[in-house]
């Protein structure tokens, strides 16, 4: 793979571990003559912004200047950086700082070992499917992108909703449920899994639709090809409102007559991985997949 000359740092600045690691990351870059770019958020929260030598990521277009982006935090950090990078194709190396980070490839203990591999070009780039959701909620349509999932649920209401789901204008089903989760393969191990959806290998390009607590034994999660456009509408007006969440981070309340269209995004998110990485081993280690309980 390409040997990098410059990289960016994106991090969860609320974590003490991030600030503890930042000086070591910059020193590591200086030793390898790599140019470092920091986000404006990091710069603004630094106690002494002049302490280190670095460039600043002024806007999302600056991602084009980077050979890779180092993202330090948890899964929420990975989701936010993926949306920020969008279609700019900057590879992301995730470092999880907490106890469990499923999206981040590397933990802190092996961080510099893996960064050395990247510096030598000994890495692979894995494309991850993203979702494009177009929300028609009165006024101008709003387009939002997700790496994990788009969730539509009853919000603050205590009543179930009625949903109509179509794929390329063909009716799939009408659901009476607490909500619907539409996920990518990457998101199949998140909310979709909790709703009974299947685990999908991230390199597969499909969408999973999983109902949340459906009021029927016959409605189960369904897998849809990535060439389909899903349309979700609401045959019955719900006075208590309907909530939409993108990757659990961007939220919007849907009004009467709203519809949501979801399809594969025009681009993929590039994630840095390493030769010999085994997705199923990661599932077993981080989620206990395939293991039997004790007792």
Active-site residue list: 75
Phi/psi at 206 (5° precision):
-145, 170
Cβ(59)–Cβ(32) below 8 Å: no
265: helix, coil or strand?
A: strand
Exposed / middle / buried, residue 101 (Cβ in 10 Å: 0-12, 13-18, 19+): buried
Give the 3-state secondary structure of residue 259: strand
User: Do residues 205 and 264 touch, judged by C-beta distance below 8 A?
Assistant: yes
103 vs 94: CA distance, rounded Å: 7
Q: Any residues with CB less than 8 A from the CB of 24 and at least 6 apart, and which?
A: 112
Orientation of helix 111-119 relative to helix 16-31, angle to 10°: 30
């Amino acid at each position: 793979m390409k040997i990098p000359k410059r990289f960016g740092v994106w991090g969860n600045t609320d974590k003490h571990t991030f600030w503890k690691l930042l000086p070591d990351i910059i020193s590591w870059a200086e030793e390898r003559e790599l140019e470092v770019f920091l986000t404006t958020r990091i710069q603004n929260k630094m106690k002494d912004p002049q302490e280190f030598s670095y460039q600043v990521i002024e806007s999302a277009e600056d991602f084009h200047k980077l050979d890779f982006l180092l993202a330090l935090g948890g899964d929420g950090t990975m989701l936010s950086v993926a949306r920020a990078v969008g279609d700019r194709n900057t590879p992301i190396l995730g470092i999880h700082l907490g106890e469990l980070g499923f999206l981040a490839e590397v933990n802190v203990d092996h961080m510099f070992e893996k960064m050395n591999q990247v510096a030598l070009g000994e890495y692979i780039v894995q494309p991850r499917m993203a979702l494009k959701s177009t929300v028609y909620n009165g006024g101008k349509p709003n387009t939002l992108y997700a790496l994990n999932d788009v969730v539509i649920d009853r919000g603050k209401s205590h009543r179930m909703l009625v949903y109509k789901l179509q794929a390329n204008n063909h009716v799939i089903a009408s659901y009476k449920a607490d909500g619907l989760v539409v996920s990518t393969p990457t998101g199949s191990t998140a909310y979709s899994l909790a709703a009974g959806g299947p685990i999908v290998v991230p390199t597969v390009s499909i969408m999973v639709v999983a109902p949340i607590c459906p009021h029927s034994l016959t409605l189960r999660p369904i897998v849809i090809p990535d060439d389909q456009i899903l349309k979700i509408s609401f045959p019955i007006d719900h006075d208590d409102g309907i909530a939409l969440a993108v990757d659990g981070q961007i939220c919007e309340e849907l009004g009467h007559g709203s519809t949501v269209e979801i399809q594969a995004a025009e681009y993929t998110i590039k994630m840095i991985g390493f030769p010999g990485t085994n997705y199923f081993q990661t599932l077993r280690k981080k989620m206990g997949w395939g293991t039997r309980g004790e007792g």
